[in-house]
Amino acid sequence: MAIKPLPRPVSYMERDGKTKRSGKIEREVGIGDVVKYGIYRKLLQEVQFDHRKEKYIRLGYYVKNCGAPDADFRWGSQTTFIITKTKFRKLLKDAKKKGII
C-alpha cells in the first residue's frame, strides 16, 4: 500500500468494537527516519472527522523495508495518538514549561 495523496480517508473503530468512525487527513508534516531494517515516515496530521466539529491532531507513522519500493509503505501505528488541536497546543505548552521540548 502506498501513501495516498491528500486529502486521505481515515477511519477507526471505537472501543465498543461496533462503531466505525471516518474522516479525512487534510494536512500533514513528516520526517523520514532510516533504521537498520526499515524506513519510517513519521507524521503529524490534521484530521477532520465526520462526527466532530473540531479538528484533531494524529501522530503516527508509515513503514517499509529498506530497499522496498515506495508502494510498500504501510500504516505502522497500531495505537495511534489522536487529540484535539486545542488539547495538543496545551500539551506542547506544558512540555515546554517542563523542559521536555
Indicate yes or no: pTM above 0.85.
Answer: yes
CA triple 6-9-14, angle to 5 deg = 145
Asked if residue 45 lies in contact with residue 58, where contact means CB atoms within 8 angstroms, the answer is yes
- Is the bond into 7 cis (omega within 30 degrees of 0)? yes
Residues 6 or more apart from 5 whose CB is under 8 A from it?
Answer: none
Give the helix ranges, DSSP H, for the chain. 85-97
Mean pLDDT, contiguous 10-residue spans, the chain (101 residues): 89 93 97 93 97 96 93 89 95 98 95
pLDDT at 63: 95
pLDDT at 20: 96
pLDDT at 77: 85
